[in-house]
Chains A and B, each alone.
Chain A
């Protein structure tokens, strides 16, 4: 893949973008894209041409609400074993976190994937906090289809296209194009994006994660704008197929159904939650432990945290008054500083020395 970091090619693409000469505001919705963009300084490069590239609601841990975090914490405090990804453990909510629950004697385990959690369940009940978009949800779905013993999921899984629809529909931010997330698209294919391009007249390009992939996607969007087109194009053809990954989609459909859910920084977004279907109710921690966590809702954001604005693309991390001051990765105020897919964390990681 090293060829996709070729300098000469990057210059060629940049020159093409410069020639088109249209100022653009482009959003992507993927932490891995943001990492590539900041690591290689692509956003700075493009600024010179009047092109702004920003991360929207592309970090699954970040869009998970304080209420969902507190549900997990409450289960841990009630003696249940919780297994989840490392960054979820550190997200604060209402003065609590899974890390804190662990320090106070709760059984909270960090896993790299759901399979580790299933292995742990051989020795007693484990509740896996399932976070992630269409990329991660198939692994949860496949696991529940195998009907593992002693195992439950608290599903925080979400569908991406409804959030893009919500963001465009809110009309707070005027976007000229969207870079669609490469690995979500690996699963869902190109079709789910088309209604959005129709409805909002917006160009979309599915892109891979190498620097040249991102530059190429920006070029393809610029060209669409110049030619007055608003289509869904695919730059990541070496991985993303028109129809996506059928097996993975089938697994998602068998296990989950769309339901409304709030996203951090957003109101309730219809059909954006992957709720575990009735047939799998015995694996659904929300159903099984409704008595313990059913009433937890509307938990407020951490005071002063601007993650909501960052996730809606209205604010750059560096514009948050807490950024790099009281909020740093080792003592994060909000999830965008915790998660390595969060815009604040990525900004701090690569630019703290130039701040």
Chain B
């Protein structure tokens, strides 16, 4: 199943990165994404599949409000 929670990229070494999930660390293959240390990734079956857009994530609720106001 998809781990829907984003993890934070701590350290990158080649195609591998150490990703932190609030204290639990996992080694993840990052060859499918362009990611920098400190960014958040969505991981599936040991592979990062996308980088989280932090600005959009922080503003999700605001975006929801706007979407509903325009209705």
A interface residues with partner B (beta carbon < 8 Å) = 1, 3-4, 6, 9, 12-13, 16, 30-32, 35-36, 112-116, 132, 135-136, 138-139, 142, 182-183, 186-187, 208-210, 212, 216, 219-220, 223, 237-241, 245, 247-248, 251, 340-341
Contacts and interface: CB of A to CB of B under 8 A. Distances in A.
B67 interface: yes
Contact of A132 (B42, B45, B46, B63): B45
B45 A247 contact: no
Residue from B5, B32, B61, B71 having most chain A Cβ neighbours under 10 A: B32
A9 B62 CA distance: 10
Nearest to A213: B60
B61 A6 contact: yes
B4 A209 contact: yes
A3 B67 CA distance: 17
Given A16-B68, A186-B49, A238 B56 contact: yes
A186 B13 CA distance: 24
A112 B46 contact: yes
A238 B29 contact: no
A159 B31 CA distance: 22
A301 B42 CA distance: 35
Contacts of A114: 45-46
15 contacts: A1-B5, A1-B6, A1-B57, A4-B61, A16-B71, A30-B2, A35-B1, A139-B45, A142-B32, A183-B44, A186-B50, A238-B57, A239-B52, A245-B33, A245-B49
Contact of A239 (B45, B46, B50): B50
B23 to A, nearest CB: 16
Contacts of B67: 216, 220
B26 to A, nearest CB: 10
Contacts of A136: 44-45
Contacts of B1: 31-32, 35, 340-341
Nearest to A136: B45
A135 B6 CA distance: 15
A186 B46 contact: no
Interface string B22-57: 000000010111000000001011110110111011
Contacts of B68: 12-13, 16, 219
Given A139-B47, A245-B49, A32 B2 contact: yes
Contacts of A6: 61
A32 to B, nearest CB: 5
A139 B15 CA distance: 13
B56 A237 contact: yes
Given A238-B52, A245-B33, A208 B45 contact: no
Contact of B2 (A112, A135, A245, A247): A135
Given A183-B44, A187-B49, A239-B53, A208 B32 contact: no
Which 5 residue pairs across A and B have the least CB separation, nearest first?
A: A113-B46, A209-B4, A238-B56, A238-B57, A113-B45
Contact of A208 (B4, B33, B44, B46): B4
Contacts of B44: 135-136, 139, 183
A58 to B, nearest CB: 11
A36 B54 CA distance: 22
Contact of A245 (B6, B32, B46): B32
A210 B56 CA distance: 15
B32 A186 contact: no
A180 to B, nearest CB: 13
